[in-house]
């Protein structure tokens, strides 16, 4: 397995993760992961562990953040413990800016706005998240790019800008305003997701653009990931 590299220097690199690939290893994951690949890429096993930071860097093979298995697009991987720590700091301080592209059900009104609602794990289903009392404060801004019809239904191509980074945040927020993502097997509803999956093979969400600072030089770095073929085909064949 190999991944297209969108950006690389001595401190970190960004890959274009294809849909269907899991980022981190787990007992339930039988296929090769980004983590397996990254360990070979940065030779993380050769680092001598002297601190908790270095231990986390090695354990995670430099992977700074996560995106879902079915989500495609930009993923940052640090080459050194120092870059790992600095990029994590940028995420925590929300100085890293991300724009996702998604296809959602329906026409959003208003066409531009934001969703602020607390996201947390559902007590009755540990695999799913939702808007729950006591959830973590979460905000996602959105902007409609295009509205189109496909297979007798209305869809919108949107830009989504998460200001926080909660698990499944974008998917939960779009469901919350009644515009679930196309192909979302967890949040679109059983019938809707079943119908979606007859022609859309995954959750149509792509990590499109990311801006961060170089951990050493502090230079602003802008990274762009091309829109994947499966999403582009839906957009262009209306």
Residue 44: pLDDT band (50, 70, 90) is low
**Mean per-residue pLDDT for 74-83?**
95
Judge contact between 168 and 68, C-beta under 8 A.
Answer: yes
Q: What is the pLDDT of residue 141?
A: 98
94-110 pLDDT, tens digit per residue, is: 999 999 999 999 999 99
Catalytic positions, please? 68
Residue with tokens 């495609």: 72
What distance in Å separates the CA atoms of residue 129 and residue 132, rounded to the nearest whole number?
8
Distance CA 148, CA 22 (A): 31
pLDDT, residue 48, reads: 63
Domain that holds residue 140: 5-236
Q: How far apart are the first and last CA of the chain?
A: 33
54, 55, 57, 63: CA torsion to nearest 10: -170
> What is the CATH number for 58?
3.30.2350.10
Q: Please list the residues that pair with 160 across neighbouring strands.
A: 100, 142
Report residue 28's pLDDT band, with 50, 70 and 90 as the boundaries: confident
Domain total for the chain?
1
Segment 121-169, tens digit of pLDDT: 999 998 899 999 999 999 999 999 999 999 899 999 999 999 999 999 9
């Amino acid at each position: 397995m190999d991944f297209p590299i969108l950006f690389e220097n001595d401190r970190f690199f960004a890959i274009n993760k294809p849909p269907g690939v899991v980022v981190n290893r787990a007992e339930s994951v039988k296929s090769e992961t980004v983590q397996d690949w990254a360990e070979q890429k940065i030779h993380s096993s050769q680092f001598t562990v002297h601190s908790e930071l270095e231990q986390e860097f090695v354990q995670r093979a430099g992977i700074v953040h996560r995106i879902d298995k079915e989500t495609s697009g930009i993923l940052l991987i640090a080459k050194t413990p120092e870059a790992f720590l600095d990029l994590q700091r940028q995420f925590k301080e929300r100085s890293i800016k991300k724009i996702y592209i998604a296809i959602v059900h329906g026409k959003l009104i208003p066409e531009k706005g934001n969703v602020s609602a607390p996201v947390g794990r559902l007590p009755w289903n540990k695999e799913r998240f939702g808007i729950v009392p006591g959830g973590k404060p979460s905000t996602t801004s959105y902007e409609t790019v295009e509205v189109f019809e496909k297979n007798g239904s209305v869809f919108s191509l949107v830009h989504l800008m998460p200001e926080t980074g909660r698990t499944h945040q974008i998917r939960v927020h779009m469901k919350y305003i009644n515009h679930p993502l196309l192909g979302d097997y967890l949040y679109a509803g059983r019938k809707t997701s079943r119908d979606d999956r007859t022609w859309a093979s995954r959750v149509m969400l792509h990590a499109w653009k990311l801006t961060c600072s170089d951990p050493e030089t502090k230079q602003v770095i802008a990274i762009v990931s091309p829109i994947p073929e499966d999403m582009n085909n839906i957009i262009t064949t209306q």
